[in-house]
Amino acid sequence: MRRAATVYPWAVIGVLLVTLTAGALVNVRMNPHPQLVEGLPPEYRKVSLATDLRLPSTHPELVRQALTDLKALTPNGYGPLAGWDGPWRYVWPRDASFTAAAWCAVGQYDEASEVFAFLDKVRPQKTKAGGAARELAAGAQPHSGGRHGGGRWEARYHGDASGPMLDGRHPQLDGSGWVLWSAWFCATLQGDRAAADAQVVRNWPMLRQSADQITMELGSNGLPSPSPDYWERNESELTLGTVAPLLAGLRSASALAKRTNHLQDAERWSNAAGRLEHAIDRAFGGRRGYPRTKHGGADAIVTVLGPPFAAARPPVVEAIERSHAVLTLPNGGVTPGQDWRADGVAWTPQTALFGLSAAARGDRRTAESVLAWLDNHRTSSGSIPEKVNRLNAVAGEAPLGWTSALVVLTATALDRPLPIP
């Protein structure tokens, strides 16, 4: 009996080890290590930047490389591509908006103006209020974007502005929020008030359309219907990845309307922003701590509820810091969310979002740590990749425009406060 009692625990431990090893092998087969796709031709890396760049003092060489990559990803006649290869070689409204903001952060407003001009060329058609608004009020799914005469931005567009890339991805409502925030951000930073206002006037139809689309989609509970967000998958539940950018967008739209004396629009969009903020707090706040969905886990997009996209609020800051800790992987980067696949792969845009959040909130230690991690995980040509795999090797597309733009904004925020709508 004594021998059996001694052997039994070891047998249990052996079974557990075999089970864990088998599970790990299955996970590796289902989620293989992503490899590096560095496709930017050498000749495109020789672009020249303006001599009047306002480079930040923190990681200036990293920022210069990020800007060089952003410039290279915008060939003549094209909008800002997310990446150079295959599925990345398109323009996402989100990535383009951050690219414009990055150019404005270093004083290159002409570069940003070209981004807004591209977005204006591909903007969706405005949704007619009547039937769609009534359907939304009744709780139906909103009409999808431009392909059905709606006002939602498509997930991505051809770089030559010939139209959306219709590959089965659904339109994404969050694009309306990103475009509005970026336009406000640039107008606020530009010292030449007349030039900034002229830019807003040129883009006003696009900006008004985006703000109206958000407002129209808010139901009686203050929230829109579910929509794909930056995870780019069909959603049965409303996500924080949709509502957080929309809130920043409505606040930005109201500020832009006041700036250009569209006072009725300003009031309408401000009221909509207030409704949306209260609804977000009810649906995602409290003990839930602003998860991805009402029933989901932490998501890196919680950063968009705080600076530089919104004023700091203690419950939100707590949620951001908790989410950062929860989502940080052994390789030092972060996974997009707890509900993301458990493959041990860190994504640089989400890691950089936490860096930007920390810098904008005055948490210099965290922001510099994130920038150092990104700096230490560059490719041999100096670009920042999309991912870092669980072997701590760079992977995915390189360079990636969204991460490059976030690096510029993070380093800038360490030098001087960024505006908050």
Residues 274 and 399 in one domain: no
Residue in the block written with tokens 């705080």: 306
With beta carbons less than 8 A apart as the criterion, state whether 404 and 70 touch. Answer: yes
pLDDT beyond 50 at 340? yes
Q: What does the pLDDT read at residue 169?
A: 87
What is the CA angle 181-184-186, rounded to 5? 110
Q: Which of 266, 284, 302 is the last residue of a domain?
A: 284
Q: What does the pLDDT read at residue 134?
A: 30
Is there a domain that residue 212 lies in? yes
Residues 362 and 213 in one domain: no
Is there a domain that residue 81 lies in? no
Peptide bond into 308 cis (omega under 30): yes
Phi, psi of 38 (to 5 degrees): -105, 95
For residue 125, give the DSSP letter: P
Beta bridge mates, 337: 299
Query: What predicted TM-score, i.e. pTM, was given to this entire model?
Result: 0.88
Q: What is the total count of domains within the chain?
A: 3
Is there a domain that residue 419 lies in? yes
pLDDT beyond 80 at 145? no
Q: For residue 45, what pLDDT band results from cuts at 50, 70 and 90?
A: confident
Determine the structural domain holding residue 9 and report its residue range: 1-30
Six token digits for residue 271: 């009221």
Average pLDDT of the residues of the chain:
89
Distance CA 70, CA 120 (A): 19
State the pairing for strand pair 394-398/346-347. unpaired
Residues 408 and 261 in one domain: no
Residues 126 and 265 in one domain: yes
Residues 294 and 161 in one domain: no
Distance CA 30, CA 119 (A): 37
Q: What does the pLDDT read at residue 150?
A: 61
